Amino acid sequence: MTPDVTQLIKFYKSPLGQMVRGLVGEKIRGLAKDVAGKRVLGLGFATPYLRFVLGRAERVLAFMPAKQGASAWPGQDGSVTVLCDPVEMPLTDASIDLVIAVHGFEHVGDNEELMRELWRICAPSAQLIVVVPRRRGLWSTRDNTPFGFGNPFSRGQLERLMNDHSFLVEKCQDGLYLPPSQHPLLLKSAGFFERFAPLLGPALAGVLVMSARKQLFPVVPRRKRAERFVRLPGMIPKPALETPLNSHEKSVQTSLCNKEEGLVCSRPPGQVFQGSRKYE
């Protein structure tokens, strides 16, 4: 199940959503570093985390899947959002330097096809930053946030997905140790959870934030789509049915064959006559 764009907007306007935007956005900015002059793509619903690239990147795009819906962003100077299929993005090859995917991977039916498409549109040594809900994390088990929908990932699953499609994992961080609750007391204690909860291990983390770099060797080729065959009626003409000859017709055919001057009958009676001229 994919959350609707209105649900996503409502969540990020709530106090918990604003806290998530600050905590996860800090990790994304730390991994992205300098974005000056880069072509940046936000995939899924990444617009709450793309504010820091405006005015610094050469170009900014926000692609949102059709089943989720799209909203105009940033708003004051037009919109850079595009409603499209994530596995068939309207971009040329090697046209993006930085991809930030949030609320994207967990809602795609075929992650392998998505990785092949990302490899196609990414420029050489392009960076891919992915934020996904952590499997067995508290956030993936509660459906009061967008991270509770879709298919969560473990760290090993996400690393294998990157490595199998020619992306080298550079760094992976755990985040959102804060419980997914709108309670004011828990929101005020967010700093405490983020500082001391990692000492208890990554099991309490709610999301994975991974940074990977595109490799230049070829990716696994994309699957060929099965062609659709349509049955059409055959238009090849067929000869009329031949009826067997009776004894009288056979005798007539034999006599005609013998009377033909200069011809030698090459077929016995009862079969179609084929002659060859006899030269003296």
pLDDT digits (tens, 9 = 90+) for 44-84: 999 999 999 998 999 999 999 988 999 999 877 789 999 99
Distance CA 45, CA 17 (A): 13
pLDDT digits (tens, 9 = 90+) for 216-244: 865 555 555 555 555 555 556 656 555 56
Residue 212 has pLDDT above 90, yes or no: yes
Q: φ and ψ at 132, to 5 degrees?
A: -135, 155
CA torsion, ordered 138, 139, 141, 146, to nearest 10 deg: 180
The better pLDDT of the pair 97, 225 is held by: 97
Domains parsed from the chain with CATH numbers:
5-214 (3.40.50.150), 247-277 (no CATH)
Distance CA 208, CA 158 (A): 9
Q: How many CB atoms lie within 10 A of CB 262?
A: 10
pTM over 0.85: no
Report how far apart, in Å, the C-alpha atoms of 190 and of each of 145, 180, 193 are: 16, 11, 5
Distance CA 31, CA 171 (A): 8
Q: 3-class SS at 32? A: helix
